[in-house]
Structure formats: structure tokens, C-alpha cells
Amino acid sequence: MTRAAAWATPERVAAPLLIALGAVSRAAHYASNRPLWNDETALALNVMLLPFAELRGGLAGEQVAPLGFLVAEKLVASALGPSEWALRLVPFVASLASLWLFWQVARRWLEPTPALWALALFAADWTLVYYAAEAKQYSTDVLAALAVWRVGHGLHEAGVSGRRLLVAAVVGAAAPWLSHPAIFVCAGVGLAWQLAVPRGQARRRARLLAVSACWLASFALEYLLVLRSTPAVERLQSTWKHAFMPLLPDSLDAWSWFPRTFVGVFADPLALGLPALAALVFALGCGALALRNRPVLASALAPVGFALLASAARLYPFATLGQLPHIIDPEMFHPPHGRFLLFSVPVWIAGMAAGLGLPWASRRPGLRWAAAVAGAALLWHPALAALRATLEPPRVHDVRSLVDDLMREHRPGEAIVAIPFALPLEYYLVRRGWRTPFQLVQIQRPDDLATLDEHLASAESGARYWVVTVEHPRWPSRALRERAEEMLGERGEPLREIRHFRASARLFRLGAQPPGNR
């Protein structure tokens, strides 16, 4: 049976169905319109308040995003208004497009049955579903990577015609402007091209080198105009110091980083319930691809290798949570650590699917059943998580409703103590058109409580303070709120309280203070 005839099978019906199921799960999450959380609001405030020309400089709130993504966000927000719907529209559309584009890549990398396994895993991946409705660039990371892989495989499979060369040059040149990790994919695909060109085809090699040179020139221009002036490297290195590959391992713990991270990737961002089994199946799949299709394996794995090198240079986190709590309760473990590796999800999924396809090539029913059981076991957790995200989309907090109530209750002159992050509060105050002046005291860490103490020491009797708390299981929200309320309670009395899901506001009125505190 020819390859074209092989695709004229019921599998052609299964693929659109899987794409539709993946789209429904993503659309349900987008339609839930949950309030923006801290990092989203930090990026949203930059998009809302900065003119186009200033988007390429250092962003406020310690945010970093590709210029192309920021421009797209700004265009949509300018046209539709800076609502949650508008700010999440670009990632949502990118996520939907990725479903179709992944299928185009998978059916060229893999045989028909493994490609369907891959599509099922991709459609159900909880982290991909989550970031379909997140006003951040991680969904466009996936789309840009898939676009480069698609044009790269097109040149390898169908030849280097002038039109294909032009399309590849344009796609690869645009990708780094839309996605920071896209440069890893461009570098990996370019390297795989050179390894795959047979000897004696100097003209073909030169044409592919010319396309790679266009990609490199585009990235160099982006670096000079944008990346060089991005002041986030030091924060990245301090915040994600556990996520950088040891360049020269000098201890058992340093050496253990490699197996921990390798297996951990299958838990986060892949959201698989049996990460050790997934790692084994992936290794088997890589072995199969090494024997059958080395160019595909090289173009898939080389970008991961370049990401590891960038991690060793402490320029890009190779981060994974390494466990599965967010599958048990997605609300409790936001955001996934593995979001920086979301661009590589197609690689891990394709490798697993190739491993599942090994027994399928056999005529032995027992091996096929074993592959089916292994595939179902791997798909079980992400399918449940995707179903839950469809029926009960995850929530982080409901600061939006809190701000609506606070606007009705707040009186001129009442201060607001924001714990631990003021950004969601600030975004919704701006969106709701807040006009009443107030003093803002931000408490993000225990040391900031001293600032509140100084503020209270100079306050007059009768001054009123709202303690506004945005909670999260991984933030020190509750402890900071309790301490702040204790400090206010020592100097005054609580008057009223507003509560919503993981967001609260409590009003205090100060009484006459002892002479020593004046």
C-alpha cells in the first residue's frame, strides 16, 4: 500500500474528530473568561498603557515577551478594548491553529497510527489547554515552533523549489519575533538540514544555508533592536536557578538533574499521569526513528539540545515541576512550571507516539494490545484533565468581582493595603474606571510589613484601611494578610469584609494611637 493510499482510511475521520475535541476543550476554557492573574495583568498593563514604540523596551512588572506577540496583543486590544476576551484572543487562535498544524507535522514525521496517538495526546494536553486562554505568549511559542518544523520538513521531503525556499525563509525569519524559543527550533532545523544533505549536492546545501542565513539575520536584528535592551536576565537567573542545566556536574545532586528533568518533562508540561512509562516509551520511539527516519529525529531533538545549551549558559530555564499535582486539582497549582518548555511538547509527544507505533508494525495481536494499553494509560490523565477543563474550567481567583464590590464600598481617603501582588487589583481598577483617589501600600514579602508599620505609625486617628488580598496556594498570601490585619487590629477595629473566591477585602478604622506610636 502506498503512503497516499494508507491515508485513505478511517484514520482520516479520526483526525478531524480529535482536532474538534481539542478545540472544544480550548474553547470552553476561553469561554469561561476567568479573571486575569498576576503575570497576565502585568503584561496587560504594558499592552494597555504603553504606545507601540515603547513595547520593544523593558516592560514594567519584570515582564518579557516577544515584540511580535506584544504588537499583536496591542492591535487586538486597540481594536476590541483591553478586556480579558481581547487579551486572550491571540493565544486562543494560536492554540486552535496549533491543533491543525501539529497534525500536519505529525503525519509527516510518523506513520498513520502513531500520528493519531500523537494527535490524541496533543489535543488532550492539559497545559496546552490551559495556555489557550492565558494572556501570555506560550501558545504562540507552540505555533511558531510547529510552523518552522512544517516548512523545514517540506524542504526535506518535497525538495528545494524556489517557492518553498521563499516560504521557509519568511516563516523562519518571522518566528523569533513571535516566540523566544523559536530560535532553538530554527537552529535545530537548520542543523538537521545540513546533516541530511547527501554528499555531492552542493547546490542544495547552499540553498538551505541561504535560508538559514536569513533566519540568523532576522534573529540578529531582533537581538540588536529588542533583546539586548531587555533587563530581565538577572531576575531570570535568580528566580529559575533550579531550572538551569549543570554545565559541569560536580555532585550527585547535579548529576541527578538530568534524569529528574527528563522524566519530569512528561509530568509538566505534558501532564501525563505515568511520567516514567512515558519516558520509556519516548526512548523506544527515538530508537525507532533513529533506524527509520534520522532527519526527522534530528530536526525534532536538535531544538531541545539547543534549549539545554541555553539553559547551561543560564539564558533560558529548562523548567519542569517534575510531579503531577496540577492534574489532581488544576486550581491549586497555577501556573505550570513547564511553560517555558511548551514549545517542545510536539517533540516529546511525537517520540512517545513513535514508541507506541513499534508494536503496531508487528503482526502479533499481543504486541498491539500491549501498545493499546500503554497508550490508553498515557492518555488517561490528560484526557481526564481536559474533560475537567471543559466541564469545569480552572479558576485562580475572582478579584474582578471583588473590585466591583470595592468600588461601591470605598470612600475617598481610604488607603488600600494590597497583598501580595497589586497588579490584578490595578488592572481591574483601570478597566472599571476607578476615579476615587487612594493611597496604595503593597505587601509582596514579609520585609514589606515594615513599610506598613511606618505608614500606620504616621496615620491619624480615624484613618481607614482596606486590606485587599489576592490568594494563591504558592503565594504567602494568607500569612501576610493575617500579619497585616493583626497590625491594623492592634491600632483599630475591623468594620466590614468583602469575600470572593481567593480574593478578599477587609476594612479597618484606626483608633487613637499611644504616644509612642505617633
Q: What counts of helices (H) and strands (E) characterise the chain?
A: 23, 5
Q: Which DSSP string corresponds to 341-396? A: GGGGHHHHHHHHHHHHHHHHTSS-HHHHHHHHHHHHHHHHHHHHHHHHHHHS----
CA–CA dist 417, 424 (Å, integer): 13
Long-range (24+ apart) CB contacts under 8 A made by 246-249 are: 246/312, 247/312, 247/313
Predicted pLDDT of residue 10: 60
CA–CA dist 245, 311 (Å, integer): 5
User: 420 preceded by cis ω (within 30°)?
Assistant: yes
Buried b (16+ CB within 10 A) or exposed e, 474-507: ebbbeebbebbbebbeebbeeeeebebbbbbbbb
User: 335 preceded by cis ω (within 30°)?
Assistant: yes
- For residue 485, what is the enclosing H or E element? helix 477-491
Residues in the chain with pLDDT values less than 70: 1-10, 156-160, 229-238, 322-335, 360-362, 421-422, 473-474, 512-518
Contact 320, 378 (CB under 8 A): no
Using CB atoms within 10 A of its CB, is residue 270 exposed (0-12), middle (13-18) or buried (19+)? buried
Q: Please tell me what DSSP assigns to residue 505.
A: E
Predicted pLDDT of residue 179: 94
Predicted pLDDT of residue 444: 79
- What angle, 0 to 180 degrees and rounded to 10, lies between the N-to-C axes of helices 182-196 and 162-178? 150
Q: What is the set of domains in the chain, with CATH numbers?
A: 26-232+246-391 (no CATH), 399-517 (3.40.47)
Tell me the whole-structure pTM to 2 decimals: 0.89
- Cell numbers linked to 488: 491594623
- What angle, 0 to 180 degrees and rounded to 10, lies between the N-to-C axes of helices 423-431 and 38-49? 50
> Residue 260: helix, strand or coil by DSSP?
helix
Q: Based on C-alpha coordinates, what's the Rg of the chain?
A: 26
Q: pLDDT (tens digit, 9 = 90+) per residue, 203-228?
A: 888 888 888 899 999 999 988 888 77
Q: Please tell me what DSSP assigns to residue 137.
A: S
CA–CA dist 88, 334 (Å, integer): 17
Predicted pLDDT of residue 271: 83
Predicted pLDDT of residue 230: 67
Predicted pLDDT of residue 361: 66
Contact 37, 334 (CB under 8 A): yes
- Residue 119, φ and ψ in degrees, nearest 5: -65, -40
- For residue 147, what is the enclosing H or E element? helix 138-158
Predicted pLDDT of residue 431: 83
